[in-house]
Amino acid sequence: AQSVTQPDIHITVSEGASLELRCNYSYGATPYLFWYVQSPGQGLQLLLKYFSGDTLVQGIKGFEAEFKRSQSSFNLRKPSVHWSDAAEYFCAVGPSGGSYIPTFGRGTSLIVHP
């Protein structure tokens, strides 16, 4: 079975600073990988996804993530954080074949200081 680890519960950055949120997964084959964001009072919104191909994936709101098979990682990055990026970020992994049920991590809470 697949699993996801987000080792950081909270991350605090200053506005304008760069950001990297960590995600490690466990899955026997090449997985589908996702990052979702949840702003207060909102649903989980898809930021980006990796299914195959280029391992550097661009998403919405200026986010990108890189799939590194050797490290079983799919870290989320943003070069310059805005105050509106403060939210909960969830990494998820889904099986690449058969029944599709994504497994989520516990989330990382991003705090942005002015």
Could you list the residues that contact another protein (CB under 8 A)?
4, 34, 36, 41-46, 49, 90, 92, 99-107
Minimum CB separation of residue 15 from another protein in Å reads: 26
Distance CA 87, CA 40 (A): 7
Pick between residue 10 and residue 114 the one whose CB is nearest to another protein: 10
Contacts 24+ apart (CB under 8 A), 96-102: 96/29, 96/30, 96/31, 96/32, 96/51, 97/29, 100/32, 102/32, 102/34
Pick between residue 29 and residue 101 the one whose CB is nearest to another protein: 101
Pick between residue 34 and residue 81 the one whose CB is nearest to another protein: 34
